[in-house]
Structure 1
Amino acid sequence: MAFPAEAEVLFRRQNVEQQYKLVFIGWLIGLFLYDLFIISDYVLTGAYFQTYVVIRLLFVTPICLVLLWGIWRKSPYYDLLVSLIPATMVVGLSTGLVLSEGDYRPHYVFGNILLMVCGCVVGRPRTQFVAVIVALQFIGYLAVLQVTDIFPADSKPVSILFYISGAVVSILTAYAAEKSVRQSFLLDQRIKYLNAALNIQALTDPLTGLANRRSFEQATGRHWANKTAARKPVAIILLDVDRFKIFNDSYGHSAGDLCLKRIAGRVVAGLAGTDGLAVRFGGEEILLFLPNTDLTSARCIAEAIRCAILDEAVPHPALGPDAVVSASFGVASATVESCEVAELIIAADAALYAAKANGRNQVWPQPGASASVEAKRA
């Protein structure tokens, strides 16, 4: 009962994180109750009382406290430590039974069975650890029966049957608990996956795979709220596919959609290695949000993408036999503290109008040209 390697590591980390405090407190209380039985030792064991005091307080308790410290620190051996606590208690109690004599001992034997079951309920170790520890405890129990006269010969099979029953209950309890926890983990991971998928859908344009306006608003909202970015440059690039309406009217919307997908792919490739965000801003218009980018760098990025779109060579026969789809670009840059997002978009849009008015298939402002040119889309 295990997940693939990566999922198993995540499950173990999450499971330990969720339960280690509860297990620590549970076994701390369990250790207190274990030592509280020193009262029954005093009443029942007579001359062997000192033996049980040594076993409980000088052997079992210190070892269990060390194991509990490892649990609290979320040791890499967490499951083993959880399994060793009840095993240590059982070994201590069994040692007392071997070193002492008296009619009280059969009652203490059933205490071992109780500890074995409690080890699964309180500690919640993995089933494989429970199976190994229970098997070792059972072997130890058979050895105790062999070297002591706790039970008469005709009663030993019954006591062994009780111990086997306790072992089976322990393993089944551990299995059921682990199965339930693993199913809860799978459900939790599925919910997280679905939420992530829904979040991606909510922030992504379904046609191009680019970010949508909601994603853009979130990104710019975070950036403008970041005080460390106040004096750093930020750029906006607006690109518009040239004569896209003619392309759509001539070849149909399916061809137009495919054209936009291919251009979007070139845009995303052009932003590789930057912190930029590509956004489908509307229709055939794409916006690029570029934090920490000045006007010169933004123009270089825009020019590289313009050339990449030409290299994509999407045919546009309506404009001529050798014509291909091109795009016009408007670029604007400023510091965060000097403008609002809307103002930067308006400046980039004005530059895009200028690129259209001055012949399309170019980046504006060009070197030496004014970025404030106002022109109507041709």
Structure 2
Amino acid sequence: MPPSSQYELVIEQLERLAKHGYQKLGLPTPLEDSFEKATAGQRAMRLWIEGLIAIALFNAFVIIDYFIRGGTAWFALEVRLCLITPIALIVNASMRWNPNKIYRETVIAVVSCGIGLTHLYLESNKSAASSAYAQVGLIVAVIFANVVMRLQFPYALVSSIVLMTGDFYFVYQDRFLQPPDKLLGIALAICAITMTVIANYSVNREERFAYLIRLRSDLQSRELSASNARLQRISNVDSLTGLANRHAYEMEFRRLWREAAAAKTPLSAIVIDIDHFKMVNDTRGHLYGDRVLVRVASLLVQGLRGKDDFAARFGGEEFVVLLPQATQEGAMIVAERIRKLVEVAGSPAMHESGDLPPLSTVSCGVASTWPADASNREDLIDAADRALYEAKRTGRNRVCLGEITAPSKKRPASHGWSGRHRAHTDSSTRVKVQ
């Protein structure tokens, strides 16, 4: 499981909302903010579309109602078409600009309450039939606010209380309704409002629950990707020196070769070997030998040109450096810089007293080519490897250059790093001692 505090918070809220009964819908501030950010755009667009449909139905009903009554409800028609409808259209249009949560929920709640209270004002206290019609209109307004527009629960609750209070007032003042009729009307309104508030709560909880499920999956996916990346890095890194290992070297070599061939740029290689390393291990111990390896690896990295250069530990005391877009001259400069850094820095300090250990030095073999295809990729390393052997044969602590003078046949993959251990004459490679 991902150890992040955000993940733990998501799990905690999922468990809380999954419990039976009514739980607080509001999430902790970070989660509530991210929920709003993730859902605001889609919600505003939905409110705009559903608002247009509701306004169209409202006006159609107003006009039909006017003609059914034989043109006697002129004032109600004016209020609804000339006051309520323009306000509703302005509010609905503002949803296109994805307003913030407070504005969005408040204006929808205000318009919903305005429609419901205006309907009560226009229809109550006119006749028994009109008063009953007023109750129906109130219930429709509550359903619109709580179920269709799905106001956030606190706003839905406040709107329902306002509409219920208005209904109490108008029913109490209505002189055409008898007490039993008033009681029945109030009971119907209470039932309708209670059911829509419960439905609104359930919808709000499901929205948050679904968002938390998606967020949990996203966090798990990101953590899994990060873990895979860490494992990939670990699998490509030499644990002692921190340089790339042989597997990473082979992949990077193929990639750099392809890119150099495509771009028609040179690619150079430096093969590096620590001088007298076996003697250091035999006389000073393997732990001290490990410290020498770490020292040389760090100095090797310091000698590179920049982030595009690639260094790897091939195994034992051997290292390899790949230099994209580097000519022979540039590669020789890098190799000489590495050799000099190791020579000047010397060996790691010894803990015990006594004679100082001999200074650590390195020998370097350099080769450069212009890649054309995969047929001579291994020849580049063979040339550098043979130059390294020449450097060690002629005294160590020096840099030699090996040149590929003619294309050769592609060698088997098993011979890719064994040039130093084969016979030292090859028509494809010419070694120069620097």
Report Cα offsets for 1:219-246 as digits up to 9, x if no partner.
Answer: 2333333378533222111101112222
Structure 2's unaligned 5+ residue stretches are 8-29, 67-72, 124-133, 173-182, 403-428
Is it true that 1:104 corresponds to 2:136 in the alignment?
Answer: yes
Residue 41 of structure 1 aligns to which amino acid in structure 2?
A: F
Is it true that 1:214 corresponds to 2:247 in the alignment?
Answer: yes
Structure 1's unaligned 5+ residue stretches are 72-76, 120-129
Q: Say which SS state the counterpart of residue 372 (structure 2) adopts.
A: helix
* Residue of structure 2 in register with 1:180 after alignment: 213
Report Cα offsets for 1:258-300 as digits up to 9, x if no partner.
Answer: 3222222222232263411111122211111111222222222
Residue 372 of structure 1 aligns to which amino acid in structure 2?
A: R
User: Closer, same or farther in 2 for the Cα pair 1:140/1:93, shift >3 Å?
Assistant: closer
Within the candidate set 370, 381, 386, 1:335 is matched to 370
The Cα shift of 1:104 comes to 1.9
2: CA distance, partners of 1:170 / 1:229: 58
| TM-score calculated relative to the size of structure 1 | 0.71
CA contact (8 A) 1:223 1:229 kept: no
Structure whose CA Rg is larger: 2
Is it true that 1:325 corresponds to 2:360 in the alignment?
Answer: yes
Report Cα offsets for 1:203-222 as digits up to 9, x if no partner.
Answer: 22233221123322332333
Within the candidate set 299, 304, 313, 2:347 is matched to 313
1: CA distance, partners of 2:321 / 2:84: 71
Report Cα offsets for 1:78-125 as digits up to 9, x if no partner.
Answer: xx36x86665544433222222232322321233221464x5xxxxxx
CA contact (8 A) 2:269 2:384 kept: yes
CA contact (8 A) 2:261 2:371 kept: no
User: Closer, same or farther in 2 for the Cα pair 1:322/1:23, shift >3 Å?
Assistant: same
* Residue of structure 1 in register with 2:399 after alignment: 363
The Cα shift of 1:341 comes to 2.6
What value does the CA root-mean-square deviation take over the aligned residues?
4.2
Listed as ranges, the matches of 1:215-364 within 5 Å are 215-226=248-259, 230-271=263-304, 273-310=306-343, 311-314=345-348, 321-337=356-372, 340-364=376-400
2: CA distance, partners of 1:223 / 1:60: 64
1: CA distance, partners of 2:61 / 2:94: 24
Q: Say which SS state the counterpart of residue 211 (structure 1) adopts.
A: coil
Equivalent pairs, count: 338
The Cα shift of 1:332 comes to 1.3
CA contact (8 A) 1:35 1:56 kept: no
Listed as ranges, the matches of 1:140-179 within 5 Å are 140-147=159-166, 152=171, 155=186, 165=198, 168-169=201-202, 172-179=205-212
Listed as ranges, the matches of 1:2-151 within 5 Å are 3=6, 16=38, 30-31=50-51, 34-35=54-55, 37-38=57-58, 41=61, 46=66, 47=73, 48=76, 58-60=86-88, 63-64=91-92, 67-68=95-96, 70=97, 80=100, 88-100=107-119, 101=123, 102-108=134-140, 109-115=142-148, 117=150, 130=152, 134-147=153-166
* Residue of structure 2 in register with 1:189 after alignment: 222
Deviates more, 1:194-203 or 1:226-235: 226-235
1: CA distance, partners of 2:155 / 2:41: 27
2: CA distance, partners of 1:301 / 1:20: 56
Q: Sequence identity, in percent? A: 24
2: CA distance, partners of 1:343 / 1:53: 87
Residue 180 of structure 1 aligns to which amino acid in structure 2?
A: I
1: CA distance, partners of 2:92 / 2:299: 63
Report Cα offsets for 1:14-55 as digits up to 9, x if no partner.
Answer: x84xx7897687657645654574488359855556765678
Residue 95 of structure 1 aligns to which amino acid in structure 2?
A: G
